[in-house]
Amino acid sequence: EPEVTQTPSHQVTQMGQEVILRCVPISNHLYFYWYRQILGQKVEFLVSFYNNEISEKSEIFDDQFSVERPDGSNFTLKIRSTKLEDSAMYFCASSGFSEQYFGPGTRLTVT
């Protein structure tokens, strides 16, 4: 059964550094999402992406964040200058016309 994959599984970075989190959605899916979960808190929507553009973004998704689908398979989330409060699990999800399938997540630790 096809799955959403994410790399790396764990990323440690210093405050102010740029990070890129990578996702490979399920191949025939059209809708792509990033969510995050700060430790002990709920899973929060960050951004949705369809037809090569952002369709919706949350208040969390400020100018420090960007998403890209650089080729036909990858979907990336970039944080330009990381802050301590960006430490969280970041989940990628993709969907066709029904349920969203989630990746295993990338744990980002900002020190």
Partner 1 sequence: AQRVTQPEKLLSVFKGAPVELKCNYSYSGSPELFWYVQYSRQRLQLLLRHISRESIKGFTADLNKGETSFHLKKPFAQEEDSAMYYCALRTLSNTDKLIFGTGTRLQVFP
In the complex, minimum distance from the CB of residue 32 to partner 1, in angstroms, rounded to a whole number: 11
Residues 24-53 that bind partner 1 (CB under 8 A): 31, 33, 35, 41-45, 48, 50
Please identify, among the stretches 10-18, 60-68, 77-85, 96-104, the one whose residues bind partner 1 according to the rule CB under 8 A: 96-104
Question: Does residue 104 belong to the site contacting partner 1 (CB under 8 A)?
Answer: yes
Report if residue 76 touches partner 1, rule: CB under 8 A.
Answer: no
Strand partners, 102: 93
* Exposure b/e, 73-95, CB count within 10 A at least 16 = b: eebebebeebeeebbbbbbbbbb
Binders of partner 1 among 9-28, rule CB under 8 A? Answer: none
Nearest CA-CA partner of 87 in 43, 36, 18, 44 = 36
The verdict on whether omega for the bond into residue 70 sits within 30 degrees of 0, i.e. cis, is no
Interface residues with partner 1 (CB under 8 A)? 3-4, 31, 33, 35, 41-45, 48, 50, 55-56, 91, 93, 95, 99-105
